[in-house]
Homo-oligomer: A and B are copies of this chain.
Amino acid sequence: MKAITEQKLANKNVTPTAMRILVMNTLLAQNAAISLSDIEKSLAPADRITIYRTIKTFEEKGLVHVIEDGAGAPKYALCLEECDVNEHHDLHVHFNCICCKETFCLPNCKIPDVSLPANFSSTEMNLIVKGICDKCAN
């Protein structure tokens, strides 16, 4: 366990401090994206700002990606190994369930190409699908 956590940090050149290991373990334990305040609650009474800066560091180093699902606060999920400081490669669809309110990465669901108008060029895409997830379907 601890090995995996520290390895992930080491892979992206992030010094494995106590706080960072706690946050990384929290992220590893999720099957859905979580917000900053989720992490705060989960790690209370750890300092909020330190968690904030930890997540920022993770984001910059390509350990997590941000998901803006329109639910108020941004959520975070672990990146694939291929992501790095310069480029995130999580070009997958994110799904927000209107029933359980969870937001999931759908790593096998790639964002299709769209044909933009003339002289528009794209560098990044973000697709949020809202609906009912498998667990909430009856």
List chain A positions with a Cβ less than 8 A from chain B: 66, 68, 70, 93, 95, 98, 106, 108-109, 111-134, 137
Contacts and interface: CB of A to CB of B under 8 A. Distances in A.
A66 B66 CA distance: 19
Nearest to A106: B117
A121 B115 contact: no
B134 A130 contact: no
A134 B114 contact: no
Contacts of A111: 114, 127
Number of copies: 2
A98 B126 CA distance: 14
Contact of A129 (B68, B124, B129): B124
A109 B98 contact: no
13 contacts: A95-B116, A106-B120, A111-B114, A111-B127, A116-B129, A119-B134, A120-B137, A121-B132, A121-B137, A123-B131, A124-B129, A125-B130, A126-B129
Contacts of A109: 114-117
